[in-house]
Amino acid sequence: MEYSPLPRVFYKTADSAGQRGGFMLKSEYLQRVYSQVVTRDPDQKEFHQAVLEFLESLDQIIDRHPEYEKKGIVETFVEPERVITFRVPWVDDQGKVQVNRGYRVQFNSSIGPYKGGLRFHPTVNLSILKFLGFEQILKNSLTTLPMGGAKGGSDFDPKGKSDEEVMRFCQSFMTELQRHIGQFVDVPAGDIGVGAREIGYLFGQYRRVRGTYAAGVLTGKGLSFGGSLVRTEATGYGLCYLTQEMLSKMKNDSFQDKTVVISGSGNVAIFACQKATELGAKVVALSDSNGYIHDPKGIDLDVVKDIKLGHRGRIKEYADRVPGSTYTEGFRGIWNVPCDIALPCATQNEIDGETAKIIVKNGCLAVAEGANMPCRPEAIQEFQRAGVLFAPAKAANAGGVATSGLEMSQNSMRYAWSFEEVDRRLKTIMTNIFHNIYTAAEECGKPGDLVLGANIAGFMKVADVMLSQGLI
């Protein structure tokens, strides 16, 4: 059907659109879809933001695909297939009973088993997990690997807990989760707060409860029981591979001799720092939730690894150990440090419109999201308006899940690839992701709009499969 011209409809919401005063969707169909999302779950602001960004991209092509409305594809796409919530009781070292809340959002399995990380962090709630799971559909689609979208986790905080406490929590969590996962059903991975220690405890409990050695049920495992080389490095490396390709294609440039600021100091930030340095850049700042360090000479990554990976310390230790460096309280201040390339790798919504203006004013050439949705919608608009290259998370940080998919392949083969082989495949996947989203943006008449390109390229693959499989 043809859509007649519609009035420009603006929704004014307190926060559901990333605090943009108003926004517009031209398509009446997409207006209805978004209104339904907000009406059903008015408190899920993070999820609203992710859906809105997606629908704004889809607005560019929806009139060419009347079958999407006829078959209800978009409203089906934004609704999870299954949402599981459960309590997680466990006993701390003092013998006191603690109760946390566990989740698994199984969003879409059209192109493969549900796939997405588990996050253990006090900020975890259903809104955040739905936005992460929704983004995961598109991200996994972009990798070209057969993986659906999911996300899960708990409001449990592993920081400051003993190994025994973490083990007891993980065992309780998996006792419930094991009912809902499997290597052909749902394959969780690690995320914030879920590293090698947690994955080990989770896998051990799955094996114990199910009485089977299904190595492919979790990714991010230790190398000695089915894990993949490059898994720890994957998201940070992949971020840099895509950014390098973006700089080359769109600016005829590279990381060479560029100044880089990276927020965060977890695995993503650490290995983005490592790869950016290998590619010729100088990384001058990192952060954690307390504050940030600035080292004009370039970050000494060995010191950072010792602090963060060696004894789970705070980033401020760096300033005490490295002469000439400084530490500043408040992690958001890191974006005052001038840079050529910005790689936000900390958390969602850390860069707002005002912060984006500072980044632009300081002469930044490119921004690529290593974390999930760290830039608010108004920040993205600022970057695009200023001509700053911008790569959205669903494309730029897909290296982690891509390597998880490669780990699944290795588990099925009962064979482990070398570090070099996995790294080569990862680089190929990330390079192809860039070219796919770049081409999709061009075909939509919006050359250089990689947000649009990522949303369209990721969605079209899944939508075609949904049409093929019927109403599910």
Catalytic residues: 151
Reduced 3-state DSSP string for the chain: CCCCCCCCEEECCCCCCCCCCCEEECCHHHHHHHHHHHHHCCCCHHHHHHHHHHHHHHCCCHHHCHHHHHCCHHHHHCCCCEEEEEEEEEECCCCCEEEEEEEEEEEECCCCCEEEEEEECCCCCHHHHHHHHHHHHHHHHHCCCCCCEEEEEECCCCCCCCHHHHHHHHHHHHHHHCCCCECCCEEEEECCCCCHHHHHHHHHHHHHHHCCCCHHHCCCCCHHHCCCCCCCCHHHHHHHHHHHHHHHHHHCCCCCCCEEEEECCCHHHHHHHHHHHHCCCEEEEEECCCEEEECCCCCCHHHHHHHHHHCCCCCCHHHHHCCCCEEEECHHHHHHCCCCEEEECCCCCCECHHHHHHHHHCCCCEEECCCCCCECHHHHHHHHHCCCEEECHHHHCCHHHHHHHHHHHHHHHCCCCCHHHHHHHHHHHHHHHHHHHHHHHHHCCCCCCHHHHHHHHHHHHHHHHHHHHCCC
Provide the pairing of β-strand 389-391 with 291-294: unpaired
- Distance, C-alpha 217 to centroid of its chain: 20
- Distance, C-alpha 46 to centroid of its chain: 13
In a 10 Å sphere around its CB, with 0-12 CB exposed, 13-18 middle and 19+ buried, how is residue 454 labelled? Answer: buried
